[in-house]
Amino acid sequence: MIQVAKSLQQSFKRVQDLVFRIGGEEFGIIYSAASVEEIKALAQKAKENIEALQIEHRFNLPSQVITASFGLGIIDNEAIINSTLEIQEIYKKVDDLLYQAKDSGRNRVCFDLLNKS
């Protein structure tokens, strides 16, 4: 798990990026991006970097190595100001996206725009 955490910290390495462990094998990341495409590409690259570590995981039936699934909730800066979303609601939506990624085959990035006010 330490190698995975280090890989995430190297992918999200700006001073303002926050990478933290939520529990078990789940991590949270707070990242401010200039565009939706930028954050989607970075999440994809972080996923690929973890897989490239080739850490053995005998119980991961599809690939036998540790992989990563990302639930990516995207909120643009303007929408944050006008949003009626609560922190718990954002967390729930992102958690649902994570489980969508896991349920659809794992080792995926699932995202949604959460800036609906």
- Mean pLDDT for 95-115 is 89
pLDDT in tens, 18-57: 888 887 788 888 888 888 899 999 999 999 999 999 999 8
CA distance 40 to 109: 8
The residue whose two tokens read 């190297």 is 10
The DSSP element (H or E) to which 70 belongs, if any, is strand 70-74
Q: Could you tell me the pLDDT band of residue 16, with boundaries at 50, 70 and 90?
A: confident
Active site residue 25: yes
Nearest to 107 by CA among 58, 61, 76, 75: 61
**Environment class of 24 (CB within 10 Å of its CB; exposed 0-12, middle 13-18, buried 19+):** exposed
CATH number at 2-113: 3.30.70.270
Question: What is the DSSP pairing of strand 18-23 with strand 26-30?
Answer: antiparallel
Catalytic residue among 25, 26, 38, 78: 25
Give the pTM.
Answer: 0.81
